[in-house]
Every structure is written in C-alpha cells, then in structure tokens.
Amino acid sequence: MHPSPKRVDFDLRNPGMGLDLGWVEEARANRSAIEHRAATLPGRRTVKNRWQAAWLVRAIECLDLTTLGGDDTAGTVRRLCAKARGPIREDLRQGLGLPEIRVGAVCVYHAFVETAVESLAGSGIPVAAVSTGFPHGLNPLSERVREIEASVRAGAAEIDIVIRREHALAGDWSALYDEVRAFREACGDAHLKTILATGELGTLSNVARASLVCMMAGADFIKTSTGKESVNATLPVGLVMARSIRDYAERTGFRVGYKPAGGIRTAKQSLDWLILMKEELDRPWLTPKLFRIGASSLLTDIERQLEHFVTGRYSADFRHPSP
C-alpha cells in the first residue's frame, strides 16, 4: 500500500527522508514504452511565432550557462559572466519588449568560483560549482566533502555533485544514500544538484532508482549528466527522471528540480525539454526554481532564432559567438 498523495509545497526545500528500500526496489522502467512516449513528446505541442519566442526566452531564463573546459581561464569565466548578465543583444531585448533577462546560473569549476562570484556581484545570478571529483566522482569521500565545503566558502550558491556510479551499478542503494546525504550536509544553505551520469548507469530502471535515492537523501535537483560521458541528456532518460520527481512529490509533498545537461545545443532541443516538463510535471517546473538546462553553446542558437523572430532574418553564427 502506498501512502496517500500529499499536498506539494513549492516553497519548502526538499529535506530528504529515510531510505525506503522497498520503494526503491519496486521502481521499474519499461524501455519500449518510455522510448515510444519520448519519441511522441516533441509533436504533442507546436509553438510558433510569438509563442515560440516566449518559450525560448524561458529556456534562457532556465539556462545554467556553463564552462567546464581544461583550457578555462579567469578571462573565459569573466566573459561567460558578462554574457550571463546580458544573454541576448540589447536590440533583440528591446525588440522583444523585455524589461530584463538573465540566465538561471553560471556553472564553473571550483577554481573559478571566486572569479564568477565577483563578476556577477549585484546581478542576482547564482554561481554553481561542479564538485566531488567531477566528472568521475572517484576521489575519497572525505576529499569530496571538503571540496563542497570549499566551494560554499568561496561563494557558490549551488553545488553540482557527481555520484559514484559503482553504487548504482551494484545496487548498493544504502551506500549511495549515505554519500549523497553527506554531500547535502556539506552544502549547508547551498542547493545540491546530484549528477547521475545516466549514460553510465546501464538501465533505465537504475536511473529511476538512483533518482529516488538521491531525492530521499535531500537533493534539490537531479541532473542527467556531466557532459563528459559518451551519452548525455536524452528524452527517454528525462522522462524516467521526471516521473520519479512526480512520484516523489506526490508521496512526500516536496518538489525536486530537474536539470538535463550535455549535448543540448539547439533551440529546438531546448523546446523539446520544455515540452517534456510541461507534459509530465506541468507549469511549476517551467521556472528556474525547478528546471535548468546545462549548456555552453545552446545560447548561440537561441539568440539566432530570436533575431529571426524580431527581424525576419537569420544572422550568421559569427554574430552570436559562444560565450
């Protein structure tokens, strides 16, 4: 018997709960049904003209503008932060009639947290730091916890952690729960996004179970990928994770956010993800508070599409260089 659905509170942060292994083990994902549903999602809603422009603006507002390259420098991060403050050209902003627009967050390595915090001062844009031995998560637990604490001290308001995939692949859900719970405690007031690296979890059922365990441990967001795996954010995985979020909200009364990341490069793809959120989780998950898209080059294509809406012409890519 499942407990009765609870009223979802969208104002309270997910506190987590004790590990419910019965709930975790019963989680299943029918791959053929999931893939069929995911394939039909983009065609379920058609947004054109001003509606499309509005949805693309929302995609920008939900964007975690990211730089996670081995060649990152302080200058790279400052340029990214400048783009985060003004994600589209001023003439396009005025043409769209927008009073202001900003991205959801800027995501960087720990080494650049202080640079990003300084560059974004007064903007209200939070800095997210990837942590816990990103992207593989194989450092000793004590080192991963200290890395979180250091990023929080440096000013990060959000921490994107990676789980140790071995726990999920071995079905050691207690170890995964304890790990994520320790990360949540280390975050303090900073919000915790747990990266599942779904392309390395083997099955969609493992994705569903890992999603539940991370939410039980107190995750504020669950996230698909580091962007470094061979397979990153896909709509079937998104469907499984969104339904896990819905199940958790219905049973506990607490909402958890969702962040697809990796391989999302076109405006059309961002619309597909927004449609998935609308169809599976409805309007509350169409805000930066509960939905983010992790990307670095996506903004370029969105800006081109918005220029077409405003002017009727597509501009060359070089007029919209990647941040």
How would you write the pLDDT of the chain (323 residues) with one tens digit per residue?
Answer: 445 455 555 568 999 999 999 999 999 999 999 999 999 988 777 777 899 999 999 999 999 999 999 999 999 999 999 999 999 999 999 999 999 999 999 999 999 999 999 999 999 999 999 999 999 999 999 999 999 999 999 999 999 999 999 999 999 999 999 999 999 999 999 999 999 999 999 999 999 999 999 999 999 999 999 999 999 999 999 999 999 999 999 999 999 999 999 999 999 999 999 999 999 999 999 999 999 999 989 999 999 999 999 998 876 666 655 56
Choose, from 83, 193, 220, 259, the residue flagged as catalytic: 259
Query: Across-strand partners of 130?
Result: 109, 160
Residue 299's H or E segment, with its range, is: helix 298-311
What is the C-alpha to C-alpha distance for residues 31 and 236, in angstroms, rounded to an integer?
Answer: 8
Which residue in the list 223, 247, 272, 301 is annotated as catalytic? 223
Give the DSSP letter of residue 90. H
The residue behind tokens 């339904």 is 243
Output the pLDDT for position 47. 79
- On whether the CB atoms of residues 156 and 113 are closer than 8 A, the answer is yes
Q: For the whole model, what pTM was predicted?
A: 0.93
Which domains are seen in the chain, by residue range?
A: 21-319 (3.20.20.70)
Active site residue 160: yes
Class of residue 235 by CB neighbours under 10 A (exposed 0-12, middle 13-18, buried 19+): buried
Check if 272 is active-site.
Answer: no
Catalytic residue among 160, 220, 247, 272: 160
**Across the strands, what pairs with 127?**
106
Please report the pLDDT score of residue 48 as a whole number: 79
Quote the tokens at residue 91: 């003439």
Q: How far apart are CA 65 and CA 233, in angstroms?
A: 16
Name every residue whose Cβ is closer than 8 Å to that of residue 224 and which is 6 or more positions away in sequence: 195, 196, 198, 232, 233, 234, 237, 238, 241, 259, 260, 261, 262
282 is catalytic: no
